[in-house]
Amino acid sequence: MDQPDLDPGLLAEDLHNLEILNRFFGGRQAVLRRVSPLLETRPSMEPLAVLDIGSGAGDLCRVLVEACRRRSRPVRLWSLDVHPQVQEYARLQSAGYPEIRFLRADGTRVPLRDDSVDLALCTLALHHFAEEDAVAVLAEMARVTRRWAVVSDLCRSPHAYAGVWLATRFMPNPMTRHDGPVSVRRAFTLAELAELARRAGWTAPELHRDAWFRMSVVLRKEPRW
């Protein structure tokens, strides 16, 4: 999926497959569980500002907007991805979500000001970055958020590899069959993620193990209103 000039049909099908897998194996619920306390806090005069780094198909962006709509909470969400074809797919799927804006940019160099969002997210994307770049992504998340940063990703282990291999083995799309197991091999362990967060300057990060070979790390800053 990281390669340029992908077959549009295969890419669209692959992104749709990943949305299904993320929903079926509780990836969306894991993220919502981590961010729901922030969504429930007393609204300020401004909309809740959210950045999703490596947003891919944009399904989590849409889920977050729907969660805010149910709470009658205004939200402004930036969907950031560096891959033009992936972002175009997300844009088409998000036509009914005017709350979402799209940024084509590298997660290691986010084109937003310091303390410009309430929540910085990176979901199932950190494993696409080499170690030093992953540290840069985490540092950028800490820089742009004034309240919370949340990373949710696969947790590398032999069991995770076997589980993802089985989950994708019978899918006809070759990209899905290839990318799933490769993503686990490229993922970090919980201890490695903690060390990356420390190197990125995260203070007292919260580490969590989630179901279905997932993990998350949360940075909470003091509210500024």
- The pLDDT value recorded for residue 72 is 92
Cα–Cα distance, 193 to 131 (Å, whole number):
10
Q: Which pTM was predicted?
A: 0.91
The tokens of 83 are what? 């891959």
60-114, pLDDT tens digit by residue?
999 999 999 999 999 999 999 999 999 999 999 999 999 999 999 999 999 999 9
Q: Considering the domain boundaries, does residue 195 fall inside one? A: yes
Q: Are 97 and 82 in contact (CB under 8 A)?
A: no
Distance (Å, rounded) from C-alpha 186 to C-alpha 168?
Answer: 17
Instruction: Please check whether residue 102 lies inside any domain of the structure.
Output: yes
- In a domain, residue 172? The reply is no
CB contact set of 165 (below 8 Å; sequence gap of 6+): 180, 181
**CATH code (residue 52):** 3.40.50.150
Q: Work out the pLDDT band at 5, boundaries 50, 70, 90.
A: low
Q: How many domains does the chain have?
A: 1
Is 127 among the domain residues? yes
Domain enclosing residue 36, as ranges: 8-155+188-220
SS (H, E, C) 62-101: HHHHHHHHHCCCCEEEEEEECCHHHHHHHHHHCCCCCCEE
Determine, yes or no, domain membership for 19.
Answer: yes
Residues 8-58 have pLDDT tens digits of: 788 888 888 888 887 777 778 899 999 999 998 877 778 999 999 999 999
Q: In what order do the strands lie in the sheet with 48-53?
A: 100-104, 75-81, 48-53, 117-123, 145-154, 214-220, 206-210
